A and B are shown apart, each in its own frame.
Chain A
């Protein structure tokens, strides 16, 4: 008995060891190293100084705006994303895979480009300029929802698609209204994934940097933009450390809260239900989906249109120029090379994130045999969400100050970028897999085991068939997230091998109409590449897994 318990714990530790080492080395140590610099002033440890910073009135304002804008952004993302997830995962619509892929594109667009596109729409000369929303809280919230509705659609859509429709149909046949079906059958089954999506979206919103900077103007600062300002512009490391710690505390509290509300998912069916025909009752959800599509498409169309214009006329010259290095050699490598590096880096980031994510998801979802074990598992689950809640600035500089000696001098290693991106993508992978794995009835494993299957065999016959599809979805998402990642990448990327978003940013920073046009064209290429990846994943999703 005791030996079995020990064995289980040892197994748990062995599975968790790899991810933990990676996380410690590339996340916990760097962040601690950077925050430590703020706590130690002139060689002495001075925690009181850090506390003093937190009493500044500006810190209160910044924290208030961070929480308010993130809450509003999350609510709007859910309002737009949930009906869209329903429509795109359950209804038989023409081109729904294409629509779903398009809706996921914003997530990876460089924020600076989206900022420019948003301003074209909301700005003084734009079609919605009369609203006066160009800069300020409304623009920020719209921007956050533009990026994050995709996360809701993906996370909840995947769970919704694999939901067995029969209990709902049975309830309806027994006289339940659609609303009753939703609240008593569908919602309990989806709750896990909705809570997951909400917590991830909230973290993304609360730590978003570019959106707030471009759409908020000077007046509206969040903890994330404030850390950047304090670190790079004012070199006030103590205040930056104080805010980093504050951000971490908020994130940990949030994770603790969501862990409480994240009920285990209902048993997952081993098949994707066939999408059903559209009914009149679907009209509201369809309308919201159309609105979401328009909301997402407007800035993208503005972007595409801009990329196709040269000197006031339609032209493909901006795209032809991508094989070169811009006017006055603004770039060190052609944009096409940057695309190749982006793809290579994304491949590495994807397998790293998938490997770590799968291990973690398995560890976290295995049935615990004691309360202590359960606590360890849920703590593990939460710890790996932390990278979402830490400023890219803190992490970027932290890697610089900690990984700087001996075999750990990885500052110039080509692996640093994919590792950082994998850590950013990891929570997405874990959150996509955990609800599915958690939904597997443990009795299936027991049945397999009692029939003589070993651990591997059990895993292959029980888990793999169910997890295979979400795994593909997760890999697509990790790949796309890596393609678009800018914050950490811009700190770590090597000059000879810049990624596409880094090149776009660079082009935007160089004068000349051609460079600007190329930046827009490169953004369209980035968006199109992402859409293709997402489409490929959609196509690869095996329609039925029940045969096994």
Chain B
């Protein structure tokens, strides 16, 4: 039968194949622009800057900014350490204080040549401060759904200890320290707060129905009662800025709050890569990241706070998302020395 039926089928396939190959990549944009007027930024997937800011940089310097963003902060650190001496970019951004030691140990960076903005000095690394410049900071804090607690006439928890109290049984969700950077930050906060007894605290949390999911997304959207439609838990691990995104209307008040006594500060750094193909451009880029345009754009595009004391944060932030006065701290060197052991111990505790 069917020679007749085959022809339309063949024709259709051919047309489809031709149509599709018409938009194949081959012969498409395999542009390989001149290296000299390009500067390549290697970063993690959360990186974002407004077009105007990028344009301003390109106009000012005559350089084209190429952003190579992929994977998370941990994978970025691994990638940089593995390709030390032969990096696939000129500048790296997005290494935070919990991963700084890995890249510093691997000798990935050249000293940068730029002035830190006023107020940024307090975020500089004690060791390697000349190699990594602080660009932004954000605090990982427990967030509560204030509306949920108000409706039940229950006072919301306010401290780390509160989370282990029977009144708040089965109410908290956090992300895992082994697979998420806020999870790691929370582990460090409990480490700083409880010292050697931190594992007892985690046992208490688990006995009180703590739920651990793998990432920030799952915790905030999947579990948090104010995060999505299906979440049931009113206490979640997130950031100090998160309440600025849960307003009860435009210009309204936030329905959530960050517990400012539970925070751990994450600082993100940028540095010039050793072996960069455009070292001068790289220096200019680091300087630009520390400059007022980028600093002012950080809250809007990356949900983090500037390190510069000279620029102000958006109004929703100052009204609804205050910054913790002091956060729990663990020195980067101590994190570097103990990171693996702590993670292993933590895994043992939470997977008993």
Determine the chain A residues whose CB is within 8 A of the CB of B72 once the complex forms.
Answer: 232
Among B9-17, B127-135, B262-270, the stretch that binds chain A is B9-17
Specify which of B9, B23, B74, B231 is in contact with A344 (CB 8 Å cutoff).
B23
Name the residue of chain B whose CB is nearest to the CB of A411.
B88
Is B71 touching A234 in the complex (CB atoms < 8 A)? Answer: no
Contacts of B67 in A (CB 8 A): 332, 495-496
CB distance A506 to B45 under 8 Å? yes
What residues of chain B lie closer than 8 Å to A182, measured between beta carbons?
none
Identify 14 new A-B residue pairs, CB closer than 8 A, beyond the known A217-B214, A218-B214, A547-B1: A116-B217, A116-B222, A125-B230, A218-B176, A225-B179, A233-B74, A329-B48, A329-B51, A347-B24, A405-B86, A491-B75, A508-B221, A509-B46, A511-B238
| Known contacts A232-B72, A491-B71, A217 near B213 by CB under 8 Å | yes
Nearest Cβ on chain A to B351's Cβ, whole angstroms: 4
Contact: B2 with A235, CB < 8 Å? no
Which of B23, B50, B217 is within 8 Å of A508, CB to CB? B217
Q: Mark B1-29, 1 if CB is under 8 A from A, else 0.
A: 11101100100110010001101111011
* Residue contact A233 to B178, C-beta cutoff 8 Å: yes
Cβ proximity bits B44-74 to A, threshold 8 Å, 1 near / 0 not? 0110101100000000000000111111101
With contacts A116-B222, A218-B351, A405-B86 taken as known, whether A547 is within 8 angstroms of B3 at the C-beta atoms is yes
Contact of A418 (CB < 8 Å), options: B9, B25, B77: B25
Asked whether, in the complex, the Cβ of B217 is within 8 Å of the Cβ of A495, the reply is: no
B217 close to A112 (CB less than 8 A): yes
Interface residues on B, range: 35 or more
In the complex with contacts A218-B350, A412-B68, A543-B2, A232-B82 CB distance below 8 A: no
Report whether A232 and B74 are in contact in the complex, using a CB–CB cutoff of 8 Å: yes
B102 close to A (CB within 8 Å): yes
Is B159 among interface residues, defined by CB-CB distance under 8 A? no
Contact A511 to B303, CB < 8 A, known contacts A340-B23, A491-B70, A540-B9? yes
What are the residues of chain A within 8 A of B214 when measuring CB–CB? 213-214, 217-218
User: Closest residue to B351 on the A side, CB-wise?
Assistant: A219
Binding site for B on A (CB under 8 A): 37, 112, 115-116, 119-120, 123-126, 135, 213-214, 217-219, 225, 228-229, 231-236, 306, 309, 312, 328-332, 340, 343-345, 347-348, 351, 397, 400-401, 404-405, 411-415, 418, 472, 490-497, 502, 505-506, 508-513, 516, 536, 539-540, 542-544, 546-547
Contact (Cβ within 8 A) B88 A493: no
**Which stretch in B191-199, B324-332, B339-347 binds the other chain?**
B339-347
Q: How far is the CA of A292 from the CA of B303 in the complex (A)?
A: 42
Q: Which residue of B lies closest to A220 (CB)?
A: B351
Report the minimum CB–CB distance from A482 to chain B (whole Å): 12
| B340 adjacent to A351 (CB under 8 Å) | no
**Bound Cα distance A536, B12 (Å):** 10
Q: Are A516 and B228 in contact (CB under 8 A)?
A: yes
Q: Which residues of B contact A411 (CB under 8 A)?
A: 88
Are B303 and A510 in contact, CB atoms less than 8 angstroms apart? yes
Bound complex: CA A112 to CA B179 (Å): 14
Q: List 22 A-B contacts (CB under 8 A).
A: A119-B230, A123-B222, A214-B214, A217-B214, A232-B77, A235-B77, A343-B23, A344-B23, A400-B79, A414-B25, A491-B75, A492-B70, A493-B70, A497-B29, A509-B216, A511-B238, A511-B303, A540-B9, A542-B6, A543-B1, A544-B5, A546-B1
CB <8 Å contact, A236 and B340:
yes
Most A Cβ at <10 Å: residue of B9, B238, B339: B9
Q: Point out the residues of chain B lying under 8 angstroms from A491, CB to CB.
A: 70-71, 75
B172 within 8 A of partner (CB): no
CB contact between B347 and one of A112, A218, A228 (< 8 Å): that residue: A218
Given A235-B77, A343-B20, is A415 in contact with B232 using a C-beta cutoff of 8 Å?
A: no
Which residues on the B side are within 8 Å of A401 (C-beta)?
A: 82-83
Known contacts A126-B230, A400-B79: A512-B25 contact under CB 8 Å = no
From A125, A225, A351, A415, give the contact of B21 (CB < 8 A). A351
